[in-house]
Chains A and B, each alone.
Chain A
């Protein structure tokens, strides 16, 4: 039986399904009703920055990565050089 289960392990996709679902649903449950959180955060962060700097909307990257225990929201904003020096 142990030999057989070893032989079968290569085909065992169910543990992958289980893992993916656990991570996904943990996030979907907390995000319920606030599914647009990434969009809201992006808009509000940009609004704060726009008070001080002119930001090109095309040079804003938003990435969301969900892991088992934490999520990362990455907002990458490319700032024009001139504006930064003026701000100082």
Chain B
């Protein structure tokens, strides 16, 4: 039975698309058949992060409008066989997505794949509600920062009220993914700690992705960090998160401050 997973956050710029790409690759590497679906109509970027920007011919709206068959619009990843991408339209506006159209595409994708990973646009408008409506599971991407936590709380409320599952009296399984975490700053009381964010949002923790230069590097070259730098700390966090999504029980590894001498700590606290 295919699972529909929405990657969402409310706030923009926290790492939804990066996380969608990294988790999608990781799930595919676990042998799962995965399709990544970009819901950010007019501002698509998942194609760019996946390095497939020059291969987009048809998008989801073409499929909804009947201009193309779903199979023609799916872009098969060149690196991982079991991974595909369905792009968002860059030229239409977000009203081009209809409830019936989206439902039809999602149903068809459920038949072809094990995982349908929906990359939500920022905000709580139609694009975001379309992306979450069919979800069985949700990854709520949050930065340890006040506005991101507040917006995530709002999104959690919407997942509990504006989804198909909520309408049927069922739950969307929600998972918290904390990204851009700086353990040093958290230890010095300059940044919310993992346990602070967890306590405030009170949904299960899927993973903690440390702030890392590898993530920008991965975007630069169009190869998700789990593929381009699989042994880096963010990639390991994403790989473990994917294994948890896939049903494994693993303790969550919370990044710790690198231990140095007292001098190192004093110096570290000054430069930050």
Contacts and interface: CB of A to CB of B under 8 A. Distances in A.
B146 interface: yes
A29 B196 contact: no
A21 B191 CA distance: 13
Contacts of B190: 11-14
B157 interface: yes
Contact of B189 (A11, A22, A24, A29): A11
B267 to A, nearest CB: 12
A72 interface: no
B18 to A, nearest CB: 24
A24 B193 contact: no
Interface string B229-272: 00000000000000000000000000000000010011001000
A25 B150 contact: yes
B200 interface: yes
A25 to B, nearest CB: 5
Contacts of A11: 188-190, 269
A17 B146 contact: yes
A25 B192 contact: no
A68 interface: no
**Chain A interface extent, by class:** 10 to 19
A84 to B, nearest CB: 44
Nearest to B156: A29
A88 interface: no
A1 to B, nearest CB: 8
Given A4-B266, A29-B157, A14 B186 contact: yes
Main secondary structure of the interface of B (DSSP, over half): helix
Contact of A13 (B157, B189, B262, B269): B189
A22 B153 CA distance: 11
A9 B188 CA distance: 8
Contacts of B145: 17
B110 interface: no
Nearest to A3: B262
Contact of B196 (A8, A13, A14): A14
A25 B153 contact: yes
B149 interface: yes
Contacts of A13: 189-190
A18 B200 contact: yes
B154 interface: yes
A4 B265 CA distance: 9
A8 B188 contact: yes
Contacts of B186: 14
- The 4 A-B residue pairs whose C-beta atoms are closest, nearest first, are A12-B189, A18-B196, A14-B189, A25-B153
25 contacts: A4-B265, A4-B269, A8-B189, A11-B188, A13-B189, A13-B190, A14-B189, A14-B190, A14-B192, A14-B193, A15-B189, A17-B145, A18-B192, A18-B196, A18-B200, A20-B146, A21-B146, A21-B149, A21-B150, A24-B150, A25-B149, A25-B150, A28-B150, A28-B153, A28-B154
Interface of A: 4, 7-9, 11-15, 17-18, 20-22, 24-25, 28-29, 32
Given A14-B190, A24-B150, 9 more contacts: A9-B189, A11-B188, A11-B190, A13-B190, A14-B186, A17-B146, A20-B146, A25-B150, A25-B153
